[in-house]
Chains A and B, each alone.
Chain A
């Protein structure tokens, strides 16, 4: 089956800085890559996603890039704010969803 690895496991940045979270996957059949934000005690919520026929997608301060050849994709958050503090999960979909182990982002004011 698919194997999704995510790093770093924790990331601390100063407010206003950028944050980058990276994921790798193993199954070349994976064709859909969502990113979820999960605040403490809350449900995961989709923040951005990308399909395998696209290399980059942006939505305001959030962007995702995909390198199919290298089988990795990354989440980029610019101008971070304290409310961006949460756990972020990447996922890959070849027939079903496989999630990474999460990155705890702490944005210091």
Chain B
């Protein structure tokens, strides 16, 4: 079946531009996570949704980062006024269960390069 998909796969933005990254989770998956993965590092938690509710946004690095999942399926991560330090791969993951200690299925990621 279809896995988690993300678009675009690659995004180049000039410093100061706004970007929007999309995540399509596996159908029926309740939980959705966003992670930031810098080169050579492990994924860093950004935010978590259970259905449409954003239950944890403590990992968002600044108020320039905003995420939404209005209908409890597709999610968008928006970064305003991008900075060079925002360059990273942004991973989305979804999970069937509300209990977070279950397998997450990752998308292929969006590689964001801010020039």
CA distance A6 to B100 in the complex (A): 22
B45 adjacent to A44 (CB under 8 Å):
no
| Interface secondary structure of B, over-half rule | loop
Assess whether B109 is interfacial by the CB under 8 Å rule.
Answer: yes
A102 adjacent to B40 (CB under 8 Å):
yes
Q: 1/0 per position for B40-73, CB-CB distance to A under 8 A?
A: 1111110010000000101100000000000000
Assess whether A31 is interfacial by the CB under 8 Å rule.
Answer: yes
**Also in contact, A32 and B101, with CB within 8 A (given A43-B106, A96-B56, A102-B40):** yes
B45 adjacent to A98 (CB under 8 Å):
yes
Max chain A CB contacts within 10 Å: which of B4, B43, B58, B108?
Answer: B43
A89 adjacent to B103 (CB under 8 Å):
no
**Of the residues B40, B42, B108, contact of A99 by C-beta under 8 Å:** B42
**Of the residues A4, A6, A45, contact of B106 by C-beta under 8 Å:** A45
Chain B nearest CB from A101 CB (Å) reads 5
**Also in contact, A97 and B33, with CB within 8 A (given A44-B43, A44-B106):** yes
- Residues in B neighbouring A96, C-beta threshold 8 A: 45, 48, 56, 58-59, 100
29 A-B pairs within 8 Å (CB atoms) are namely: A4-B42, A6-B42, A34-B103, A34-B104, A36-B106, A43-B91, A43-B107, A43-B109, A44-B43, A44-B106, A45-B106, A46-B104, A49-B103, A51-B101, A89-B42, A96-B48, A96-B56, A96-B59, A96-B100, A97-B33, A97-B45, A97-B104, A99-B42, A99-B44, A101-B40, A101-B42, A102-B40, A102-B41, A102-B42
Question: Which A residues are closer than 8 A to B by beta carbons?
Answer: 4, 6, 31-32, 34, 36, 42-46, 49, 51, 89, 91, 93, 95-102
